[in-house]
Structure 1
């Protein structure tokens, strides 16, 4: 209770006050004020530090962050205001008409030197061994604004390090108590484990007693920390920033397509950090996106494998492996051929495989579920003919404008934690109410549990209950359906009937009926035409990184597995073809809102592994069905023919409301009965959803911590788990 109360004091006191003048800026008029004599037009009520940024003037700061509430406790951003006898903290002072602010003066210089002297008084001399070295705000600003000497001759304060889980390493003696981490965990992540205890020199930041961080976004506090108090535990003492080669890319651990930067040294990925993209992930990423990279170097497939007569997979040459697969494909009747795409399949490979199997006369193409378990239908009763039936139509940023939000069979905290943080924004602002149909889950915002099954969705469509009335009275209602729930019988029809009862749900200005995909390759697969996945009569099955389908393969089927990890699909295969992972190729993915994005190659693929589409192109020659493209430009021209949106990078192409409403009208008239089956999320364990995360030791530790095995085990068990 002491920790929680102290947390509220630091976070909620000032930050709520300051958020008041930072919010709803679009509704306020612009005023003119002056920064160092330069006129600036800015929204009334904005902070001085924001006006300075708009004027191109840099004001140093430690505690201030534009996406967090304001604490105003580091005092590094002090400025002078004309006719004001005292200096003011520019992060917490709102601008006013005609205000004149001075950001550089002898008085301000002396104040900044004093702040730096106090911060460095207890700071340890750890720069040579600190992982933050080279990227440290304190290091940079002490050089720019600090004095050339110090007057502190006493013993430095020491603080005991905190164990906050397997992902974030703490060195709390370095902490300058900016409370960025506290504010992030409380405001953005919403789990509330971090807080402050004590006052003055005794103030410390930590969690509840021996409790690890429970947030799926916890790694973001590493980026927020302006000193080396919080660093990445898996990356500890691995590399210096100046040794790394950085490559801009996108994340494929979920379906959001978050902007990331892949840092590599030689042929190894050693770190993944977020990039800013306000339309998708702002500047946050999930812990799986950040820390699962160690799975890229474990259990990798590096050479082709062919199952011998003894039943073992033996190494083979590319020519031999492709010849065997091509011969079996030619000799199998088209009606007995099937292709299954996994969660991480890129658009180039999806188009190439479809072209190859279509050339062989096969039309049976489907996908695994996002959790890795196989589903009999890629889209259930959801039509893939209309794109709006399987995309997140309101856009990721658009959820902040919704006023009544219904979640159907989805847990965004597991499926898309960055989206969950966006959903929390209107909750904190008090502008939205939430309802859930499905399993009662631990979300980071309050909600009404209005039901568990498709029948409860039908009840909402009929106007039963207070939440149904709230939906009908909403200005911008939002209905988010999980991809797993949408595949269950009767769910899509029930949701369509609900949509038909809400005139404000789909209009010319707003399309609030959204499907939340959980797999990076799912939207592109539906765009290309992967819709059916019945394997009962299949005699030749091509698994494109699909591991869940291994559980339901016919016993007499010839199975080809193309992928980058020795997961379940590889163990069930007769021929294994090694492919490149997402950090090892330039490939196209489509996120859940229908935005086309591309990865970039950061490192070389290991061994004999090759890009997925190149393997399929070579196989087409071996099968006597050569594909009509030999390079990536030719393939992407073919992609444009199949689905033009696949080559329109970073462009959203919304479906017209007329088409969306027509599709909903047809589906609403479906006779599919609504069942009593509980609608649950596809993902049971956030940290273990695909071949990469299942191969990651870091994710294994995080999963164990999340499930309580580390917290409840003996010291010996904990130590053994940490050595995994």
Structure 2
């Protein structure tokens, strides 16, 4: 490890470290525009110049590797003069429109112009102007502000895997854009706004809505998918204005998906803000909480538990699912389920429904097999991590299921279970690659597990994992990729049918036949509500979506940004979301609604505050004690032996942008659906591309 001296301080760093990284390790600030720690080094802004002993002129610290005995000075007169000059050149053509720029207050160029620039300019000629580009509904462009740092080009190619951006022309005429005019079709495109150091790329839905100093900031957890991305929720008044990523190396690094970032405008649309009860005329009418609870108590009174069913939705927090389960148990109800999509997963073996490798552990794997999953749509952040590992080399990828674009090369092995059976027999080139790998991964998606033979597919995947050595001492390469934020938490709490109980399909079938008379929907909107028949439906949720349309009683709940909630992501990591805004009107937090309802049903639950509920969570499953950590899970038997159906696997998500009540209420997500999903379908029909 080479030793060098920076500003009189000796430091020892790993070989290959850049001078800029060594300066950061000492806490010495070096200005930069083009450098980003997760992107390749471009070295083209020259803002990070430092003095190196015996060098004839300042060197760019971002692309200068450290050397033994190197002496670096970061604050000499020559360095200051060089940085002044670079800043003067950058501002030659940059427009003076900070008062109307959405980047104002969060702009690297503003900050560094104050710290390293001059207070005058010697440039008298006209500034250049560049035509704005059309990148789609999410990215607003003002390309005259662009300083050619090329961060966006490198992000699109290296992280997102969509190499559509580039630079055309040279010198002062250089422009960043797509070579052929087209929108930027990536599930991660919103991150371009975060990495742009100026106001060239800003958020189109957020444009001119707020300034950063007007916002209150809350650290929370995303509930749009099962990744559990760490986010920052920015609020003004009672409204969520935007969502930004929060650094967590173990989960989402510093990226979030476009749905996580932009679906939040749906939080203010189609909201349920007061209880409703369906009257004798068949119409829903506003009611008080007591009237709504009384209507439920009247209908449930004296009803046998076998005639009641409960379904937990995809964004339910662990606290509310715990109270739902205990309330149903007090009523003698065995028919309760958290698997809206009918996934054939049971709660007996935790390792059988987790992403055991962990998200960060993907970088340690050396082969992966995807079964019935499209991670690009189901978990865009995990797909980015898979691509990151693929770019390192030595990472063969195999796919069983629909033919998809994953943003990285892969071997297509077939459409259905026959290909899985062939791998079990050791047939094919990819079977040999899996067997030869030291740390192979198998990822099973909901497209394979929501079928009638999902339990058999799960058992076959487990057998393959054991056969190729994916489960060994210190390594578990068997993974289930969930699509619902509430799914792992629900399974951890045992929200599956008890003995003699019905699952989701059974509850709906029973309601259709009149055998189930009362159905409790806890934010459950992803069901075939037409099969609820004449059942008395209680819907507790935050949006007037599918469940609310069929409800006889509506109990308005809080969305994930409006309550303190515990969520368990697909890898089994327990995380806590924070309350960033108040729920509208009379809406309340979900656990409090269930606690109040239990009192009206004369089955009072013993919880008076959130802390007591969370203590009970730990009693039910010790995994909830490991907040912000992944609790170890023992390997065991799961799935069911038997023949698999020959039908091909299908994707669990057709439209990435609209998967829940919030995203369906979002105008931005509707625009993305129109631009990307329907646009892609039209291209497929006509056979045109580009």
Q: 1:496 aligns with which of 446, 454, 462?
A: 462
Alignment of 1:661-672 (within 5 A): 662-663=636-637, 667=639, 670-672=640-642
Q: 2:478 aligns with which of 504, 513, 525?
A: 513
Q: Secondary structure at the match of 1:524?
A: helix
Instruction: Report the equivalent of 2:651.
Output: 681
Query: Contact 2:338 / 2:491 at 8 angstroms: preserved in 1?
Result: no
Moved more, 426-435 or 173-182: 426-435
Structure 1 residues 368, 125: CA separation in 2 closer, same or farther (over 3 Å shift)? same
Find out whether 1:410 has 2:376 as its counterpart.
no
Moved more, 482-491 or 253-262: 482-491
The alpha carbon displacement at 1:450 in A equals 0.7
Q: Secondary structure at the match of 2:11?
A: strand
Instruction: Report the equivalent of 1:696.
Output: 666
Q: Secondary structure at the match of 2:325?
A: helix
Instruction: Report the equivalent of 1:441.
Output: 404
Structure 1 residues 107, 181: CA separation in 2 closer, same or farther (over 3 Å shift)? same
Instruction: Report the equivalent of 2:436.
Output: 473
Query: Contact 1:303 / 1:607 at 8 angstroms: preserved in 2?
Result: yes
Q: How far apart, in 1, do the equivalents of 2:322 and 2:443 lie?
A: 28
The alpha carbon displacement at 1:288 in A equals 0.4
The alpha carbon displacement at 1:709 in A equals 4.0
Instruction: Report the equivalent of 1:429.
Output: 392
The alpha carbon displacement at 1:359 in A equals 0.5
Task: Give the root-mean-square deviation of aligned CA atoms.
Answer: 1.4
Q: 1:523 aligns with which of 488, 492, 517?
A: 488
The alpha carbon displacement at 1:554 in A equals 3.4
Query: Contact 2:447 / 2:652 at 8 angstroms: preserved in 1?
Result: yes
Q: Secondary structure at the match of 1:400?
A: helix
CA deviation digits over 1:110-161, x for unaligned, max 9?
1100000000000001111111011100000000000121100000000000
Instruction: Report the equivalent of 2:594.
Output: 616
Q: 1:565 aligns with which of 540, 543, 553?
A: 543
The alpha carbon displacement at 1:368 in A equals 4.7
Q: How far apart, in 2, do the equivalents of 1:708 and 1:414 lie?
A: 15
Query: Contact 2:353 / 2:479 at 8 angstroms: preserved in 1?
Result: yes
Structure 1 residues 472, 709: CA separation in 2 closer, same or farther (over 3 Å shift)? closer
CA deviation digits over 1:201-255, x for unaligned, max 9?
1110012433111110000010100000010001100111111100111111111
Instruction: Report the equivalent of 1:333.
Output: 304
Alignment of 1:287-306 (within 5 A): 287-306=258-277
The alpha carbon displacement at 1:675 in A equals 1.7
The alpha carbon displacement at 1:680 in A equals 2.1
Stretches of structure 2 lacking an aligned partner (at least 5 in a row): 497-502, 511-515, 684-690
Q: Secondary structure at the match of 1:331?
A: coil
Instruction: Report the equivalent of 1:24.
Output: none
Q: TM-score, structure 1 length as denominator? A: 0.90
Find out whether 1:343 has 2:308 as its counterpart.
no
The alpha carbon displacement at 1:586 in A equals 0.6
Moved more, 227-236 or 543-552: 543-552
Q: How far apart, in 1, do the equivalents of 2:124 and 2:171 lie?
A: 20
Query: Contact 1:304 / 1:321 at 8 angstroms: preserved in 2?
Result: yes
The alpha carbon displacement at 1:455 in A equals 2.4
Q: Secondary structure at the match of 2:285?
A: strand
Q: Secondary structure at the match of 2:527?
A: helix
Q: 1:453 aligns with which of 392, 395, 416?
A: 416
Instruction: Report the equivalent of 1:595.
Output: 573
Query: Contact 1:293 / 1:696 at 8 angstroms: preserved in 2?
Result: yes
Q: How far apart, in 1, do the equivalents of 2:518 and 2:6 lie?
A: 71
Q: How far apart, in 1, do the equivalents of 2:369 and 2:77 lie?
A: 56
Paired residues, number: 667
Instruction: Report the equivalent of 2:10.
Output: 39
The alpha carbon displacement at 1:33 in A equals 1.2
The alpha carbon displacement at 1:550 in A equals 4.2
Alignment of 1:70-149 (within 5 A): 70-149=41-120
The alpha carbon displacement at 1:507 in A equals 1.1
Moved more, 97-106 or 138-147: 97-106
Structure 1 residues 711, 367: CA separation in 2 closer, same or farther (over 3 Å shift)? closer
Query: Contact 2:657 / 2:673 at 8 angstroms: preserved in 1?
Result: yes
Alignment of 1:163-182 (within 5 A): 163-182=134-153
Structure 1 residues 709, 465: CA separation in 2 closer, same or farther (over 3 Å shift)? closer
Q: How far apart, in 2, do the equivalents of 1:125 and 1:198 lie?
A: 24
The alpha carbon displacement at 1:676 in A equals 1.3
Q: How far apart, in 2, do the equivalents of 1:620 and 1:633 lie?
A: 18
Q: Secondary structure at the match of 2:472?
A: coil
CA deviation digits over 1:53-98, x for unaligned, max 9?
0011110000000000010000000111111212211111111111
Find out whether 1:391 has 2:334 as its counterpart.
no
Find out whether 1:307 has 2:307 as its counterpart.
no
The alpha carbon displacement at 1:678 in A equals 1.5
Instruction: Report the equivalent of 1:464.
Output: 427
Instruction: Report the equivalent of 2:218.
Output: 247
Instruction: Report the equivalent of 2:500.
Output: none
Instruction: Report the equivalent of 2:233.
Output: 262
The alpha carbon displacement at 1:552 in A equals 5.0
Alignment of 1:44-83 (within 5 A): 44-83=15-54
Moved more, 102-111 or 320-329: 320-329
Stretches of structure 1 lacking an aligned partner (at least 5 in a row): 1-29, 370-374, 714-724
Instruction: Report the equivalent of 2:186.
Output: 215
Instruction: Report the equivalent of 1:322.
Output: 293
Query: Contact 2:312 / 2:337 at 8 angstroms: preserved in 1?
Result: yes
Query: Contact 2:522 / 2:541 at 8 angstroms: preserved in 1?
Result: yes
Structure 1 residues 326, 208: CA separation in 2 closer, same or farther (over 3 Å shift)? farther
Query: Contact 2:278 / 2:284 at 8 angstroms: preserved in 1?
Result: yes
CA deviation digits over 1:454-498, x for unaligned, max 9?
221121011010000100010100001113422331211211221
Q: Secondary structure at the match of 1:475?
A: coil
The alpha carbon displacement at 1:708 in A equals 4.4
Q: How far apart, in 2, do the equivalents of 1:212 and 1:480 lie?
A: 31
Q: How far apart, in 2, do the equivalents of 1:332 and 1:98 lie?
A: 82
Q: How far apart, in 1, do the equivalents of 2:423 and 2:565 lie?
A: 42
Query: Contact 2:168 / 2:179 at 8 angstroms: preserved in 1?
Result: no
Q: How far apart, in 1, do the equivalents of 2:158 and 2:645 lie?
A: 38
